[in-house]
Amino acid sequence: MMIDQEYRDVLATLSEGSVARRFDPYLDIDWDSPEYRIDPDDPRWILPDDCDPLGAHPWYRALPEERKIEIGMWRIANIQKVGLQFESVLIRGMMQYAMRLPNQTPEFRYCLHEMTEECNHIQMFQELVNRIGVDVPGMRADYRATSHFWHLGAYLPIVFFIGILAGEEPIDHFQKDAIRRGEELPPALLRTMQIHIAEEARHISFAHRFLTERVRRQTRTGRAATSLAFPIIMRWLAGAIMTPPRDMARRFDIPRQVMREAFWDSPRSQEILRAYFGDVRTLAEELGLMNAASRRLWKRLGIDGDPSRFRSEPHRTAQPAA
């Protein structure tokens, strides 16, 4: 595929950013300092009620503080584990893609930079999980059973990079919303979020631009198929990333009804789910992937809504008129 100069310039900027502004999980986080000690009694582990669907549920909010902390630590540790599991799939798929690129392709350099950063994220997330000290499994069993095959999507680059966005966007929005709350987070968690957000901005920008380059070259039939695949992949992987495994309900005796409502049957949890995808709805609009059929599918899957007016626009709950 011919790469135009504008795209080459974008890839060069992203690659140079990876060299000039990069992080190492063992140089940029002083894990053994008193500041980063994990305190199992720290109320800052309580799940936020504005961006976590379980944290927003009345059942969780009514629990004693020590129980909310215990569940919060497990939930947050499990999200880190899910994150590193997803990053491993991304690395395997991106390596498959990059190794088929011809010489002199600037995408090769950027892809290797991104994979290096994702390896660091895996180490960072696993270190945090280890220090929190709870034995979390990560993804639900059904997703774990199939994740070994996800990287094969790299042979269908458009599908694969839609999948990358579907995994990156929910965690990125969750982390940004948590930091925007203005309340303190445990320092070790806050630092990992800051590093992940800083580097993930490049990864998400690349995925957006990659899809822009590829989708605009598709035939009308190919674009129609992509318009339907887009929301399906988004919703499916949102479930993989943000829905906890059954182990959590069993461990903490969470009623089935609570789990169903929190993931994703209640109006509040559905609102949180929709908020994860404002940026990708904007991308779908820009790529001409929002047609009558695909809009119905976005709505049917419960991830429709207004597109973001700008990247990472904060989600605001509508307030009733006075």
Residue 26 falls inside a structural domain? no
CATH assignment at residue 76: 1.10.620.20
Q: Whats the size of the chain, residue-wise?
A: 322
Residue 42 falls inside a structural domain? no
- Report d(CA 251, CA 135) in Å as an integer: 11
Residue 89 falls inside a structural domain? yes
pLDDT the model gives residue 320: 35
Prior bond of 264 cis (ω within 30°)? yes
Residue 209 falls inside a structural domain? yes
Residue 18 falls inside a structural domain? no
* Domain ranges, residue 269: 62-300
Q: Of 241, 203, 226, which Cα lies nearest the Cα of 83?
A: 241
List C-alpha distances in Å: 237 to 142, 154, 168, 226.
12, 16, 10, 16
Question: Number of folded domains in the chain?
Answer: 1
Residue 44 falls inside a structural domain? no
pLDDT the model gives residue 318: 42
Which residue shows structure tokens 């190919």? Answer: 222
- Report d(CA 274, CA 266) in Å as an integer: 12
pLDDT the model gives residue 180: 83
Residue 253 falls inside a structural domain? yes
- Report d(CA 299, CA 297) in Å as an integer: 5
Residue 256 falls inside a structural domain? yes
Going from the first residue of the chain to its last (322 residues), give the mean pLDDT of each consecutive group of 10, the final group possibly shorter.
84 95 94 96 93 96 98 97 94 93 94 97 98 95 82 85 93 89 84 95 96 94 97 94 94 97 96 94 96 97 88 54 34
